A = this chain, B = another copy of it.
Amino acid sequence: MQQKSIRRSNRDRTEATRADLIAAARKLFTEKSYAETSTPEIVAAAGVTRGALYHHFADKQALFAAVVEQEAAVVAEEIERASPPSLFARDALIAGSDAYLAAMRAPGRTRLLLLDGPAVLGRAAMDEIDNRHGNRTLREGLVAAMRAQAMVKLPVEALTALLAAAFDRAALAVEAGSSADDYRTVLMALIDGLSPHQAPRPARTR
């Protein structure tokens, strides 16, 4: 039984170590915040040394960026899984909204993605990440709604960003204990307010 260090390719080693570091960092960043989490803690949880961390990542911030990137991808995936794209434009938007709010209830996720992320990486970097993941489906949904004449024509980038900001704040408020129903109601009202005709829609806020 030769247990001592089976031969592993460098690519496998790198991949495994990076994954361990990201996983450990994710756990701590969601539990405690970026500033309160130290690199000694992270590497201890990952079972490596700080040398490994600084070999694979330029600095603590780069590791944080990797965690945010991954978490944003997970959120986007959860949304796409929960909201089938084969619906009327408005229904797709609503389904996506609910899926987003549900996804953001994972512990620590709001702080990671909505508080620490923008502060540590900057809004520009966060926009870049969001546009690559979550916001993409939102923007496409809005474009589809506009094309289907189900929504007034507006600058797409700005509308996407502002609705996303509203969703984000709603997620934070719900996590803080506010009424999820209230926020959902207002979000739906904001979206429905963008309808062009204003025929008396069925007031199904639930």
Give me the interface of A with B, judged by CB distance under 8 Å.
33-35, 115-116, 118-120, 122-124, 127, 152, 154-155, 157-159, 161-166, 168-170, 172-173, 176, 178-179, 182-183, 185-187, 189-190, 192-195, 198
Nearest residue, chain B, Cβ from A123 = B172
Nearest residue, chain B, Cβ from A191 = B193
Given contacts A115-B118, A155-B185, A198-B198, contact A162 B190 (CB under 8 A): yes
Nearest residue, chain B, Cβ from A166 = B162
Tell me, in angstroms, the Cα distance from A192 to B33 when the chains sit together: 38
Closest 7 CB pairs of A and B: A193-B193, A165-B169, A119-B119, A198-B198, A155-B182, A158-B182, A158-B186
Tell me, in angstroms, the Cα distance from A51 to B108 when the chains sit together: 35
A116 CB contacts on chain B under 8 angstroms = 119
When the two chains form their complex, are residues B162 and A170 in contact, meaning their CB atoms are under 8 A apart?
yes
Measured between C-beta atoms, what is the minimum distance from A166 to chain B in Å?
A: 4
Tell me, in angstroms, the Cα distance from A192 to B190 when the chains sit together: 10
Tell me, in angstroms, the Cα distance from A198 to B194 when the chains sit together: 11
Measured between C-beta atoms, what is the minimum distance from A179 to chain B in Å?
A: 7
Tell me, in angstroms, the Cα distance from A21 to B127 when the chains sit together: 34
Nearest residue, chain B, Cβ from A119 = B119
**Can you name 13 extra interface pairs (CB under 8 A) apart from A152-B189, A162-B190?**
A33-B119, A34-B119, A115-B118, A118-B119, A124-B176, A154-B185, A155-B183, A158-B178, A158-B182, A158-B185, A161-B183, A190-B190, A193-B193
When the two chains form their complex, are residues B187 and A190 in contact, meaning their CB atoms are under 8 A apart?
no
Measured between C-beta atoms, what is the minimum distance from A81 to chain B in Å?
A: 26
Measured between C-beta atoms, what is the minimum distance from A93 to chain B in Å?
A: 14
Tell me, in angstroms, the Cα distance from A172 to B165 when the chains sit together: 11
When the two chains form their complex, are residues B189 and A192 in contact, meaning their CB atoms are under 8 A apart?
no
A168 CB contacts on chain B under 8 angstroms = 165
A178 CB contacts on chain B under 8 angstroms = 157-158, 161
A198 CB contacts on chain B under 8 angstroms = 198
